[in-house]
Structure 1
Amino acid sequence: MFGTYVAVLKTPGAARFSAAAFLGRAQMSMVGLGAVLLLQAERGSYAIAGAVSAIYAISMAVISPQAARLIDIFGQRRVLRIQIALHVPAMAALIALAMSPAPTWVLYVLAFFTGGVQPNLGALVRARWSAKLTGSGKLRTAFAWESMLDEVIFIAGPPLATFLVIAVFPSAAMILATVILAIGTWWFASLKESEPKAIGRGAQHARRRPAIALPGVAAIALIYVFVGSIFGSFEVTTVAFAGQHGHMGVAGLLLATNSLGSLVGGLVFGALKLRASLLRQFLFMLALLGIVVFPLPFLRSIWLLAIGALVAGVAVAPVLISGISLVERIVPASRLTESMSWPTAGLAVGLAISSPIAGVIVDGNPASVAYWVTAGCAIAAAVTAFLQVTPLYRANAAAARTAKGTAAGTQVAASARSAG
């Protein structure tokens, strides 16, 4: 099983850009939880904490695809350096004002700006893999590798963030998250040899429609809205559940348990050589996700929740792997970065919607009640996918015809050269 991943990492330059992206996005499991814990400690409200997280996520969802479009035109290096130069001071200001008597609306404004200039290294590293491995059978494994790294981040990050907030000081988690984001992003941007070629600012490029309008992309982005809602509601509810049961210190461990289940699921899924189409894999995993998440509202103890979180995580990474692999399959290479950013934006929108809803619910009710939001969103993701089967099937079939035609054209050209 592990030999499959070792073979992928032997791709020239891959180990370095994967490591840099891993470091740069290691903050993603700390900044949200760190913000919730910081604002709850300083402002005493899960609702405010959820609202700040939601605004941050909405801003990412709105602006990230536009930044990705610029990256397709000008290249990763140029855009990333601008983003990091804006993001770091904005995050520093957000942290400082969260600990001050500043009005809440100021936090909301800063959260919107900071989220808007957040680098999306997850989409960018997958674009580099695609540039290296498109047309080979290794690309799905490479995407699985990156999803497993995401899960390692979500296993280690929440306990570390919780420890830093409780044992050091309330803003420690967000400070560390910002530092590692800056270092990793700068390193990633400096690896120019593996950067996908920028298309350039041509008239045809400027007039083209957004990637969300490409066949199948909107359907997958919509499904990811519900998947993101699972993440957002689960995080806020789990933190509140641990606090209400007198074990706030284990909140990060509970979140890590969920990620551990996802890591195991992703490890197995990525190593398998499945005959089913990517679309069928995506649909099956979404159905499984709905089944394993549904029991969460019925769990009433920390130990039962730990088991439930572990089981609920098993289908998460396979859903994300199959979904992003399907996007890579159905869109042109010249639109890949922007296209991949739309599912990420969908996740952010879902997180933005569900976090404050869960926050309001747990402020006045047993936390387990808010797990109904999580379970409902898991079921909605599966139902939405099956309702979108037709456009997804058509997009997949069209991509297969295009790939077949391209391969045939290449073979004819090669034969002509040989004959000449």
Structure 2
Amino acid sequence: MQLRTPSYVDVLRTPHATRTFGAALVGRLCYGITPLSLMLALTGSGRSYAVAGGAEALFAAGATLLAPLRARLIDRHGLRRALLPMALVFALLLAMLGATTWWHGVSVALIIGVAGAAGSCAPPLGPTMRALWNELIPESPDLLRRAFSLDTVAEEVLFLAGPLLAGLVATVAVPSAGLLLSATLVACGTTALVTSPVVRSATHNAKERGEAGRVGRAIVQPVLAALGIGLCLGTVSLLMVAFARFHHQGAAVAWCSAALSAGSALGGLAYGAVNWKLSSRKQLPILVAGPAIGIGLAGLSPNLVVLALMALCTGVCISPGLSAAYLVANQSAAPQARVRAGTWVNTAVNAGNTTGAATIGFAISNLPLHTSFALAAAPALVLAGAAFLFVRGKEKTIVQEDSSVARA
């Protein structure tokens, strides 16, 4: 008798999954709303773009650079003792930030300082939810892979919906209201998350396992893969803008961006629905090389219609690549270090995104556009090669090492 293949519905039917996942998504929506709300609030109140950019940069730096430290606190002290206070402080600082941007008498130094402090307290809700999937689905690898795919696609949807919601709030109210909405979402979502029954179970299991474990060397491969995908994401947006302007159709770039997002969402859902023969670790080099090759070929597009089709094809590997990277990192770490493992992957994506966006502008300004596309693909291809060599040369040794770490 052939066993039925588990589906996404089975993921959501898992006891406590809908409540826990829904609460995490509510909290994570704030990360889609906050950046644009902060920019609109500062520029709408008469501050310069330099001030807005400085506040954004300091917020992002605090959120990214200190993420591993915050994740370690959660792994060591648990969600209720570390994540909830962190989220409540973050919500309070977001509310203060909204008030300071609205109040014209506040100094620029105070605004930027509060923005940096808020970013430094940003709770890692995504990595936390991915660690909790192990508690919700402990004994079904296929179902766990589907859960990670669903999680990644849902997160992408939040980052698409967030700016739209921020713009809507700024239109019907005042721009700073978006920051107050973000504060409310993260406080309510995190509170609902930590009161979920699965969190009580995870806390009990963590006490039995003892102190926080180490992440292990095997996380290097998913981090490299995530860095490569982040570089692709950081470069492709600016490249599509430059391509559209070169063809005197600047507004059409929205269709190309939509095609990239649609391809990523469809690819992510398809990736989770199929039972693959290759392990997630062996899939990673392919999933990193896919978008890199797509970006390189997109530079040869004769018009924006072809570019949009290439963007659709390029996006197909992005969400699966992120899902696989998070899953491999999760499986590589000791149970007490899974939040940190997911956070390192998340940090690599953000670092790649920022680096790609910062560097590709110089190429676009000084090189032919098709050369810039090819140049954007090169680093990700190198990282895909490194991920492949990592699997080929060291997988057996590292997996054995991390198995001993997980048992420790």
* Corresponding residue number in structure 2 for 1:158: 163
* Corresponding residue number in structure 1 for 2:206: 199
SS of 2:217's partner is coil
Does residue 80 of structure 2 align to residue 77 of structure 1?
Answer: yes
Trace 1:20-31 onto structure 2 (pairs within 5 A): 20-31=23-34
Query: Structure 1: how far apart are the matches of 2:89 and 2:198?
Result: 25
Q: 1:5 aligns with which of 5, 8, 15?
A: 8
- AA aligned opposite 1:26: L
Aligned-pair RMSD on alpha carbons? 4.1
- AA aligned opposite 2:8: Y
Q: What is the percent sequence identity of the aligned residues?
A: 25
Tell me if the contact between 2:60 and 2:119 (Cα under 8 Å) persists in the aligned partners. yes
Give structure 2 stretches of 5+ with no counterpart: none
135 and 65 in structure 1: CA distance in 2 versus 1, 3 angstrom threshold? same
Trace 1:298-309 onto structure 2 (pairs within 5 A): 309=311
Tell me if the contact between 1:155 and 1:256 (Cα under 8 Å) persists in the aligned partners. no
- Paired positions, count: 396
Q: 1:93 aligns with which of 87, 93, 96?
A: 96
Trace 1:161-240 onto structure 2 (pairs within 5 A): 161-166=166-171, 168-195=173-200, 196-197=202-203, 199-200=206-207, 205=211, 211=215, 214-232=216-234
Tell me if the contact between 2:26 and 2:185 (Cα under 8 Å) persists in the aligned partners. yes
Deviations 1:311-339 (A, max 9, x none): 43222111101111111222222221211
Query: Structure 1: how far apart are the matches of 2:20 and 2:333?
Result: 23
SS of 2:69's partner is helix
259 and 276 in structure 1: CA distance in 2 versus 1, 3 angstrom threshold? same
Q: 1:144 aligns with which of 149, 156, 179?
A: 149
* Alpha-carbon distance, 1:83 to partner: 0.9
Tell me if the contact between 1:224 and 1:343 (Cα under 8 Å) persists in the aligned partners. yes
Does residue 95 of structure 2 align to residue 127 of structure 1?
Answer: no
Query: Structure 1: how far apart are the matches of 2:109 and 2:374?
Result: 31
* Alpha-carbon distance, 1:176 to partner: 2.5
Judge which range, 338-347 or 231-240, deviates more. 231-240
SS of 1:118's partner is coil
225 and 375 in structure 1: CA distance in 2 versus 1, 3 angstrom threshold? farther
Q: 2:56 aligns with which of 53, 70, 85?
A: 53
Tell me if the contact between 2:244 and 2:304 (Cα under 8 Å) persists in the aligned partners. yes
Query: Structure 1: how far apart are the matches of 2:221 and 2:27?
Result: 29
* Alpha-carbon distance, 1:396 to partner: 4.0
Deviations 1:139-169 (A, max 9, x none): 1111011112112213322333334335544
Query: Structure 2: how far apart are the matches of 1:96 and 1:158?
Result: 20
* Corresponding residue number in structure 2 for 1:383: 382
SS of 1:274's partner is coil
Trace 1:26-41 onto structure 2 (pairs within 5 A): 26-39=29-42, 41=44
* Alpha-carbon distance, 1:345 to partner: 1.7
* Corresponding residue number in structure 1 for 2:116: 112
- AA aligned opposite 1:322: A
Does residue 336 of structure 2 align to residue 340 of structure 1?
Answer: no
Tell me if the contact between 2:292 and 2:377 (Cα under 8 Å) persists in the aligned partners. yes
Judge which range, 154-163 or 176-185, deviates more. 154-163
Query: Structure 1: how far apart are the matches of 2:158 and 2:164?
Result: 10
* Alpha-carbon distance, 1:236 to partner: 7.3
* Alpha-carbon distance, 1:380 to partner: 1.7
* Corresponding residue number in structure 2 for 1:274: 276
Trace 1:309-324 onto structure 2 (pairs within 5 A): 309-324=311-326
Query: Structure 2: how far apart are the matches of 1:253 and 1:37?
Result: 24
Query: Structure 1: how far apart are the matches of 2:234 and 2:145?
Result: 26
306 and 177 in structure 1: CA distance in 2 versus 1, 3 angstrom threshold? farther
Query: Structure 1: how far apart are the matches of 2:249 and 2:42?
Result: 19
SS of 2:7's partner is helix
- AA aligned opposite 1:116: S
339 and 308 in structure 1: CA distance in 2 versus 1, 3 angstrom threshold? same
- AA aligned opposite 2:206: I
SS of 2:265's partner is helix
Tell me if the contact between 2:218 and 2:399 (Cα under 8 Å) persists in the aligned partners. no
Query: Structure 1: how far apart are the matches of 2:28 and 2:15?
Result: 22
Deviations 1:271-305 (A, max 9, x none): 01010121221111111111223466678988777
SS of 1:205's partner is coil
SS of 1:93's partner is helix
Q: TM-score, normalised by structure 2?
A: 0.79
Query: Structure 2: how far apart are the matches of 1:299 and 1:162?
Result: 32
